[in-house]
Amino acid sequence: MTLVFLGANLRGLPPAKRSELQAIITVFREDADAAATSSALEFERLELFPPTKRNLLVARYKIAGRNLEAVRKLQAECFGLGMVSMEEEEGRLKGEEFLAHVTLGKFRGMKAEQSTGVERAVRKVNEGLEENVLMELGLPFREVCLCGRS
């Protein structure tokens, strides 16, 4: 699950910033471990993401309570240290919060204005999901790591 998007910034972080990031992740892991005993993440819907490109198919999860507090703290600390991607930083400055998601696939070369057919298919899948399927898609935090190209 992507909780904060660092983009290409991760590659260029100096060792001191990587150490700061590791400390942030350690605190987040402790917060998430404490929250995991009280709640799981609940599947909400499939959607195309991000709003400007709509070229990723993602699973959106509801994050609430102590899990949400831990995620928002992680995001704020990464933002405060200037580690987030330019797109995420611009969004935060506009008052948009980055929403945690699981990326299921990427449509290469697709632009937002070309996504209407895919959007219809995603809506149909969302409509077809039954309550018992949603129950099986609960997701506890189990591990925290940095992901991406190095």
Secondary structure, 3-state, 6-57: CHHHHCCCCHHHHHHHHHHHHHHHHHHHHHHCCCCEEEEEEEEECCCCCCEE
Give the amino acid at 33: D
Here the tokens at position 102 are 């699981």
Q: Which two tokens stand for residue 87?
A: 């797109």
Handedness of CA 75, 143, 8, 110 (dihedral sign): negative
Give the pLDDT of the chain (150 residues) as one tens digit per residue. 888 877 777 777 788 888 888 888 888 887 777 666 556 667 788 888 877 788 888 988 888 777 788 888 888 888 888 787 777 777 777 777 777 788 888 888 877 777 788 888 888 887 777 655 554 555 555 555 555 544
Percentages of the chain per state (helix, strand, coil), in multiples of 5: 50, 15, 35
Rounded to an integer, what distance in angstroms lies between the CA atom of residue 29 and that of residue 74? 10
DSSP one-letter code for 112: G
Closest CA to 2 of 106, 80, 82: 106
What are the domain boundaries of the chain? 7-135
Place of tokens 């697709």: 110
What pTM did the predictor assign? 0.68
